[in-house]
Amino acid sequence: MLTHPTTVSRSSANIELKCLIATLLIIFVFNTPISFLKSSKLRGMESNLSLSATVLNERFNILRYLIVQTPYQCSLNLSVHSSFNGTEHLFGFIEGIQRNKVIHQNQSCSKETPSTLSVSTLYIPNLNKIKIIQPECIDQRVQSTLSMTLNLERLMSFRQNDVVLANFEGHVMSHKRTEMLSGISLKRQYPKLWESITVAQKSSFSVSDNNVTALVHRIEFIGGQHFYLIKIVNDDDLIPPYFYIVIVLLSLFLGGGYYLSQLLKEKNTLKKLSYTDQLSGLHNRHYLSEISRRLACDKRYHLCIFDIDHFKRVNDKYGHDIGDQVIKRVADVLKSQMKMGDMAFRIGGEEFLVIMKVDSREVAIHRVERIRKMVQELPQKPSVSISGGLCCINRPIEEVIKCADAQLYQAKQSGRNIIVC
């Protein structure tokens, strides 16, 4: 088995930070389409609200025409207490009102003097109605007064759910929200929203506060007054709450899974470090002890112990730094010759052990001889050689190691730079 030097593993704190970043990234990736989905739904709601505002504008236009333009022609023959015996214009006006039953409740004409010369609107919250008072003046003198009561339920019969009609002071005049009552003040219930609504200059716009968004259309009413047609949208109406729960759980699952995988990876890295010689990058004696319990007798495997000849002289003459370089160069040769199923170890200061899977004893001898020659022919200085002892793994590994060690000793006694089989 070909081995390589392993770098020091990341700390647990770094793993946790990386997992946190990954979790936030997952949330961001999912939140982007959520934001797009919200915007898409709000655009659809705005389109529907715009249609409702158009309908309401048309109905207000009818009122403006009938109440503002016509009354100056309608009171010449009025009698007191709602008796209508008048001119052709009067009947045309009344018939025009009556043809619009959707907005009309009742009307009356009287000779009573109003408090103002302009059109007045009164809101009656307990009855959910608007009373419009229109004075008829000739030469700046009030001749008669027309009052009309509008049924807001009929006026707003077209409205969608969560659509609110509020006057310029923020009083809710009509609505379809279960948690809201007519006559309450938007200014009190949604103070920040209402503040944003009142300062807006456009006729249609949207404002948001916390988890609530208001789509607003400003509509001109009678006498220069304006109303607000408002659709109040909660975030829950755009995205179901369980959707966020799913995202959070999925993020925690993916982030937790990544965290566990990193912990497992670090554990494996630490385990590998405990089995790896840091100087040479080969397996260490601890790993040899670990696998020796699992190695069975198999004649296809051969074991060879190598030792660098006269290594003490190298250290004494060139120093330990050069000695470490020599060890690395020999280890590189061993790693370059390892095949699938082979393993290389550094078991002592200058001692190495290899386990090779071969087809025959001759192949094993050829391979270890090639390793010996490659070390001998290394171009770097100082030049070194190795000796070795080769044995077949046909008995317990402890006995094989003793056999190879004895063969190595014989190689040293025979002049070094040889392999004894």
Helix residue ranges per DSSP H, 293-357: 311-318, 320-336
Under 8 Å CB-to-CB from 171, ≥6 apart: which residues? 123, 125, 183, 184, 185, 186
Active site residue 350: yes
Angle at 270 between CA 264 and CA 276, to 5 degrees: 135
Show the beta-strand stretches assigned E in 167-317. Answer: 172-175, 204-209, 212-220, 226-234, 301-308
Helix residue ranges per DSSP H, 82-224: 88-98, 152-155, 186-189, 191-199
Amino acid at 211: N
Tell me which H or E stretch contains 223. none
- Residue 344 in contact with residue 282, Cβ under 8 Å? yes
The first and second tokens of residue 103, run together, are 């907005």
Please state, as a whole number, how many other Cβ atoms lie within 10 Å of the Cβ of residue 240: 11
Catalytically annotated residue among 290, 350, 351, 377: 350
Look at strands 419-420 and 386-392 and give their pairing: parallel
Beta bridge pairs of residue 208: 213
- Residue 41 in contact with residue 71, Cβ under 8 Å? no
Q: Which of 353, 358, 359, 351 is nearest to 401 (CA)?
A: 353
Distance, CA of 77 to CA of 47 (rounded, Å) = 47
SS3 414: coil
- Residue 215 in contact with residue 230, Cβ under 8 Å? yes
Tell me which H or E stretch contains 59. helix 12-63
Distance, CA of 12 to CA of 25 (rounded, Å) = 20
DSSP letter for each residue of 60-83: HHHHIIIIIISGGGS-TTEETTTE
| Burial class of residue 201 (count of CB atoms within 10 Å of its CB; 0-12, 13-18, 19+) | exposed
The first and second tokens of residue 184, run together, are 């309450």
Which residues form the catalytic set?
350
